[in-house]
Structure 1
Amino acid sequence: MTPARTLPHVRFDLPDPIPVGPRLARGWRITCYEAAGATIRLGRRSRGIDRLLGAAGVRHGAFVGAWNPLSRPHPESWNHTQLDRLRRLAGRAGIAFLEGAGHAARPPWAERHLLLLADWRRCAVLAQRFRQHAILLVRLRAPSRLRVLR
């Protein structure tokens, strides 16, 4: 089955992206993203996320991580160091952010993220710098979408 059929809320940046296997596609579908008490899942809307965006005075944002580049596990200490670098770079770029995370129950999985409060293109630049496979885009009063970057 093609990713487009299994993931209708996904957009690919490259004509020939890294293959998306069924495990990764399922992981994206079942992950719950959270920031400041608000949660959202792929393809859904969230009043809580709308409140966070509205309070920040922005219409767009993206959950961006620095952990586990290209969806390959790395040591937790390395992941924390990379997330600290992402915080610093977002700050230098003038991008406001909230601490966030992604997690799923079955199989158990968790990863730290930042909810960057900026246009998705600015968020994608930072995500690509940290070799992130994809980012979750959020927009006021709209379902979230996944943007596959690699």
Structure 2
Amino acid sequence: MNLLVGTIKAQVNDPNVRVGYLCLFTYNAYSNQQKLFIGIPEDIIEKYGVYSLECAKAMAMAMTGQKNTQADFSVGVTGTFSNIDLHNEGSEPGVVYFSIVFKTEQAMAGKINVPTMKRFDQKQFVTETVLNIVLDVLESIYKALLEPQSYIK
């Protein structure tokens, strides 16, 4: 998914995209060792695998917890497109997991079923899907910050 991270960052930082200049740090954790390095607990990888909702949640949570990023908002994405990763059990072609964290609280997480198409088109599909969800979450957070009383039940 390292190529996907670059695509998402490019879209988020594009001044023509309505989010604009939001993403300051990205980690491309392509290997299991890189995931461990950024703070994914080894037991998450062993129990659920690198291609799991739990791993995506841990990836996003790790970014909000790192002092060097000072991130309030983070996104974790893991999965495969049309390929099977022979080095990791649980690799399902066309399944991507994502997680969005705001201030160490889980905001949204889910699974994306990626249609069979050219790899570039799959990257675009996942990028657009994740960014649309990110925009929805950011809008909800923004509204809650502007009108906190309307969100208190």
Give the TM-score of the pair, scaled to structure 1.
Answer: 0.29
- Normalized per residue, the structure richer in strand is 1
Q: Rg bigger for which structure?
A: 2
The answer to which structure, 1 or 2, has the higher relative contact order (CA under 8 A, 6+ apart) is 1
Give the TM-score of the pair, scaled to structure 2.
Answer: 0.28
